[in-house]
Amino acid sequence: GEKVEQHESTLSVREGDSAVINCTYTDTASSYFPWYKQEAGKSLHFVIDIRSNVDRKQSQRLIVLLDKKAKRFSLHITATQPEDSAIYFCAASIRSNYQLIWGSGTKLIIKP
Amino acid sequence: ETAVFQTPNYHVTQVGNEVSFNCKQTLGHDTMYWYKQDSKKLLKIMFSYNNKQLIVNETVPRRFSPQSSDKAHLNLRIKSVEPEDSAVYLCASSSWGSSQNTLYFGAGTRLSVL
């Protein structure tokens, strides 16, 4: 079945630097790629997504890149702040209203 | 702003007992989900309901059963809990027909099985 792999289980960056979290997927039919954030002791919430008709999307300090040839997508957080510390989950599905396949999560630590 | 409400927040029980978790959403969504998040934070879809129809039923043990009275409510019953059922159970909802199927999650119910 389809898999989504999230390569970094933990990522530590200094405050103000950029953080990059990478995911790969196996199903070439995947076309929708959302990212969710889970802060300590809290539930998940949506942060940004990208569809296969574009290769880049930005929302404030968040940038998502999609490389369909490599079946890879990544979340870039620029000018990191302490409140960016959380677990970030990537996911993929063959269309936006279809079942999501989830990555295993990346714990992002922002060091002062 | 919380719009997916789960009760209870925590539940401690013993092996073999029956437990029920409640979930209600006030977003007007037509699809609700139950996820299990284990101690390693891995997410596993358990069930989803669309307009009271079960549309996804992953290979979960038969002691788990979803119960829905209307599209705003989706409860989860575990008939006879096992130690491996200890986890956080997350309820979510979405608008299936929308172009962006964003999931809205509840705060979760943490189950501890002694």
Predicted confidence (pLDDT) per residue in B53-84, tens digit: 787 776 789 999 999 888 899 999 999 999 99
> From the list B42, B56, B103, which residue is nearest A104 (CB)?
B42
Round to the nearest angstrom and report the end-to-end CA distance of chain A.
41
> From the list B42, B96, B103, which residue is nearest A46 (CB)?
B103
Q: What is the pLDDT of residue B54?
A: 80
* B39 contacts: CB under 8 Å, gap ≥ 6: B86, B87
Q: Torsions phi, psi of A58, nearest 5?
A: -130, 140
> B45 contacts in A (CB within 8 Å)?
99-100, 102
Place of tokens 């998940």: A44
**Alpha carbon distances (Å) from A18 to A22, A60, A73, A102, B68:** 13, 13, 16, 23, 44
Cα four-point dihedral sign B23, B29, B33, B38: negative
Q: Is the pLDDT of residue B48 over 90?
A: no
Q: Is the pLDDT of residue A97 over 90?
A: no
- Inform me whether the C-beta atom of residue B56 falls under 8 Å from chain A C-beta atoms: yes
C-alpha–C-alpha distance, residues B111 and B85, integer Å:
7
Cα four-point dihedral sign B52, B54, A93, A46: positive
C-alpha–C-alpha distance, residues B42 and B36, integer Å:
8
Q: What is the pLDDT of residue B101?
A: 77
Of B31, B63, B27, B75, which is closest to residue B50 (Cα–Cα)? B31
* B19 contacts: CB under 8 Å, gap ≥ 6: B11, B13, B77, B78, B81, B111
Residue window 8-37, chain A: list those with CB within 8 Å of chain B: 32, 34, 36
Q: Pick the more confident residue, A100 or A88.
A: A88
Q: Mean of the per-residue pLDDT values for chain A?
A: 94
Q: What is the pLDDT of residue A94?
A: 78
> A44 contacts in B (CB within 8 Å)?
90, 92, 103, 105
* Omega within 30 of 0 (cis) for the link into A34: no
Neighbours of A83 (CB within 10 A): 8
> B41 contacts in A (CB within 8 Å)?
38, 87, 104-105
How far apart are the CA of B43 and the nearest CA of chain A, in angstroms? 7
C-alpha–C-alpha distance, residues B72 and B61, integer Å:
25
Name the closest residue on chain B to residue A94, using Cα atoms: B101
> B100 contacts in A (CB within 8 Å)?
49, 96
Q: Are A75 and A90 in contact (CB under 8 A)?
A: yes
Of A112, A108, A92, which is closest to residue A37 (Cα–Cα)? A108
C-alpha–C-alpha distance, residues A35 and A23, integer Å:
10
